[in-house]
Amino acid sequence: MSFASTADRHPADIGTAAAQVRALALVPLLVYAVLTQLDALGNRLSAHLPLGTTELTLAAIVAATVALLLLPRHDAAPRAMGARLIAALYCWAVFCWTLSLHRVEGATYLGKFAVALVPALCLFVIADTPARLRALLWAIVGAGIVSAAIVLVEHHTHGRILSTSVAATTAGFEGVARSAGGSDENPTTAAQMLLVSVLIATAWLFSGERRWRVLLAGVTTLGMLALVFMSARSALIGFAVGAGLIALGFRHRRFFPLLVVGGVVAMLAGIPFLPPTLVDRFTAIADFGQDQTLYRRITYLRIGWDLIQQSPLWGVGPGNFPLYYVTDAYRWMPGREPFPRELHNTYLDAATELGVVGFLLFAATLGYALWSARRGAASPDPVLRRTARATGVALAGLMVACFFMPHKDMRYLWLVAAIAMQCGRLAPRKGEVA
């Protein structure tokens, strides 16, 4: 009798154990979402360890994914088209590398690219419910709160709390240092990561979230102030686009015209209170003499376009543009520097290094992510609906900001894109009941 009761409990025990494994599997992915934006903290934590936090977290994510794949599943999940697109893009990048001139540098870049793509691929297995996707967004928002607070403190103290890298600590404009928050990346990249956090919080704030309304309002305000003090033009342009998409969600409401007018008035009224450094960075767009880096950005585009014409199908190879940039063929171009630089436009960079085929794969992957977010936003499940809307807004704003930086290997770009794809994957199909 005792044996029979044990046998009866066995399936339930297995189910409980599986549920525990699934819950624990999300932990390394949450850590990854946090430490991607607070990488300076991660670098400090792993300073005396044989492996960095990135390697440790990545290993834990892969191990959790393998463990989940070994568990029995009774439901037939829809095919992960997004995972196939991401995998196809990476395979094409490897093919382009085999035809490239600088294979050592290309192999290094492929390693960085894999670090950005592997967690996104594992997400399709680990974050298999709307609640888990929502937890990932909260992790990104939480990291943004910390980073934004650091920016504000550093702006007033002119010191550095976590950042130690040269890229993060030496950046400035007109003699004014720029904060990178909790990151060791350059301030512009750090600002674009913070942009994702701010747009998620803002989208949730205006999507009917009542339980956390005060917290989300605080995050939005704190994050916007931090973005202003970081003086990153691309992040602010991305935020403007994201805010516009949020406003469009109210286009059928009677107060929509008033909302638009109020937003424009608020922007114009806030200009006198903006930091002079930020105002100068925007006005410099009309006066290249005020910001010499603008000459360099135009040169990036010219060199990239020239390289595309030389190898249109498979490009010059991943990670190879910086080596072509310093060749004698382009030495007289205005603003060109004598050391390797990346092409500061994600989309032209993809076309230059991966060719037209690679660009189409890259564009199709991000386009599919946006479509998936829109599909998830139409779900009857309120958690999935709000998660998808926030993810879609954040991804759209980041994609706009990527016009000004080389971010095809940016970790947040692929993490947010994977979340968006998973939102569409979890949305019920026609004829299904949520």
Q: What is the mean pLDDT of residues 303-323?
A: 95
The pLDDT tens digits of the residues spanning 80-131 come to 899 999 999 999 999 999 999 999 999 999 999 999 999 999 999 999 999 9
Cα-based distances in Å from 40 to 45, 225, 412: 9, 21, 16
Q: How far apart are CA 366 and CA 193, in angstroms?
A: 17
| pLDDT for res 260 | 76
| pLDDT for res 50 | 83
| pLDDT for res 261 | 77
What distance lies between CA 49 and its chain's CA centroid?
Answer: 27
pLDDT over 70 at 172, yes or no: no
Q: What is the mean pLDDT of residues 307-317?
A: 95
pTM as predicted: 0.91
Tell me what the pLDDT averaged over the chain comes to.
87
pLDDT band at 166 (very low <50, low <70, confident <90, very high): confident
| pLDDT for res 4 | 44
pLDDT over 90 at 269, yes or no: no
pLDDT band at 279 (very low <50, low <70, confident <90, very high): low
8 Å CB contact between 419 and 133: yes
Name which residue leads in pLDDT, 346 or 1.
346
**Could you tell me the two tokens for 274?**
């903006």
The pLDDT tens digits of the residues spanning 44-60 come to 888 788 888 899 999 99
pLDDT band at 159 (very low <50, low <70, confident <90, very high): confident
8 Å CB contact between 408 and 372: no
| pLDDT for res 431 | 46
8 Å CB contact between 379 and 433: no
| pLDDT for res 258 | 76
Name which residue leads in pLDDT, 164 or 415.
415
**End-to-end C-alpha distance for the chain, whole angstroms:** 41
pLDDT over 70 at 276, yes or no: no
| pLDDT for res 278 | 66
pLDDT band at 272 (very low <50, low <70, confident <90, very high): low
In whole angstroms, how large is the CA radius of gyration of the chain? 23
| pLDDT for res 6 | 42
**Residue labelled with tokens 């996707």:** 133
| Rounded (5°) CA angle 366-369-373 | 145
Q: What is the 3-state secondary structure (H, E, C) of the chain?
A: CHHHHHHHHHHHHHHHHHHHHHHHHHHHHHHHHHHHHCHHHHHHHCCCCCCCHHHHHHHHHHHHHHHHHHCCCCCCCCCCHHHHHHHHHHHHHHHHHHCCCCHHHHHHHHHHHHHHHHHHHHHHHHCCCHHHHHHHHHHHHHHHHHHHHHHHHHHHHCCCCCCCCHHHHCCEECCEECCCCCCCCCHHHHHHHHHHHHHHHHHHHCCCCCCCHHHHHHHHHHHHHHHHHHCCHHHHHHHHHHHHHHHHCCCCCCCHHHHHHHHHHHHHHHHHHCCHHHHHHHHHHHCHHHCCHHHHHHHHHHHHHHHHHHCCCCCCCCCCHHHHHCCHHHCCCCCCCCCCCCCCCHHHHHHHHHHHHHHHHHHHHHHHHHHHHHHHHCCCCHHHHHHHHHHHHHHHHHHHHHHHCCCCCCHHHHHHHHHHHHHHHHCCCCCCCC
Name which residue leads in pLDDT, 394 or 284.
394
Name which residue leads in pLDDT, 102 or 281.
102
| pLDDT for res 295 | 74
| pLDDT for res 334 | 84
pLDDT over 60 at 430, yes or no: no
Lowest mean pLDDT among 110-119, 136-145, 256-265: 256-265
Lowest mean pLDDT among 8-17, 151-160, 215-224, 362-371: 8-17
pLDDT band at 434 (very low <50, low <70, confident <90, very high): very low
pLDDT band at 407 (very low <50, low <70, confident <90, very high): very high
pLDDT over 90 at 135, yes or no: yes
| pLDDT for res 20 | 79
Q: How far apart are CA 30 and CA 42, in angstroms?
A: 14
127, with CB counted inside 10 A (0-12, 13-18, 19+), is: buried
8 Å CB contact between 214 and 185: no
8 Å CB contact between 388 and 426: no
Percent residues over pLDDT 70 in the chain: 86
Phi first, then psi: what are they for 140, rounded to 5°?
-65, -40
| pLDDT for res 283 | 67
Question: For residue 164, what are the contacts with CB-CB under 8 A and spacing of at least 6?
Answer: 40, 43, 44, 184
